[in-house]
Structure 1
Amino acid sequence: MAALGELIADLERRIGAVSDAAERFETTNRFTHLKRQFLPHGVVFLIGIFAFAWLTLLYPQRLIGDAKITAPVQVEVTVPSESAATRSGLEKECVGTLTGAAVGGTLDEPVVVTRPKGQCPAHELDDTQHLVVVPLPSK
């Protein structure tokens, strides 16, 4: 009986060793395949990166902020503080949100005509650097 137990233990040990060897063999094959595939795919990836960089240098596109305003665009102007209002040529009563239209300039630096609101009269704003100007979606 003891010999049978030793035989079973020996067979289980050998089966484990065969299983470990098979896993090592499979892992080695997969790693070798990965190493072989890495160089060509890596080269293709790098060529793509360099081609993209080269094309962007070759054909620079103007940024959307440089786009000229050619037709009136409805905007919402937020005047965050009294100092921002003063710097932009507005009265302190104009602090808050105003509506109007961007009639010139660029999307980064629009020329805005505001609508009167309460005690704040209509203005034409050339310097909107200290204000937040957001285009409204057209209907």
Structure 2
Amino acid sequence: MAISEQQPGPDQAQPEEHGASVRAAARWLVTSYAALAALLVAGIQLKDVASVTPDWQLATALLAVLVALLATSTVIVSASRVLIAPALTWNDLVRRETSEMTRRPATPAEILDETPPKQDPLLAELKWFTQIQPVQFTSPRDLREKLSAARADLDSNPSDGLREQVLQYEQAAQACLQQANAWQSRQLYEKLITLLKRSSTVIAVCILIFLWASRPPEQPPKVTKPFPVTIYVQGSKAAITAAKLDAACARQELKGWAVNGDINAPEVVTEPKGACPASRFTVSEELGIAVPIKAK
């Protein structure tokens, strides 16, 4: 009869927190990670996305947000596996041992016995752990067989010595389960740490891409108050006509004031010069250039 059928208590993982320190560290890391991510997200101005005009730039910003959310979700799922890891049972240990014993060689080198077979890391740790136990056993299967035999002897010939022996085997079985579950928690924790490093890099890159892609188009400074300028009218006849400027103003250097518009293309009011009358027009790139001058 299997161990779990005779006395399931000692052979199954007890409700005590195996790997409690590992899970506490994982919980702290995830909490800190979530707080940092919240601070970073809070600094992102989502309203800036509405002002993004090129379609490819808008798509890039939205894709960066989506990838960052997926990376965050992956971390949360991985953390849940550490915080709510299913407990290993005695049957799990025996199943791993059976799988290792029946594993077939996977490579020609293993077939020729040139390389030793790869051992299950959990079973390798338990093999070391058995050496510090008060009772002698070589593997989970061996311990189960010895415990079953000791229980059978106790049923047929009750004695204090056999009870003590059964108790020692049960305590060794419980210790093995606790060690196995602590090992499992450590493995999940190490995977979580690796995932945190990678996802943090991904999220940081996504935030930088989002900030770059969602930045609003640069606007030239506005003319807030009139200032004197010199206007060099160098545009073509078509540009002069479009600005509703007199033809006599072509190739002229005019004095005037910038009164409105952008600094790069201000709306100016000019003084008359020769046949060029006083005018009000916008100095576009096609028309010419307006250079600020120091007021007297």
Bigger helix share: 2
TM-score norm. by structure 1 comes to 0.50
Bigger strand share: 1
TM-score norm. by structure 2 comes to 0.26
Structure of higher CA gyration radius: 2
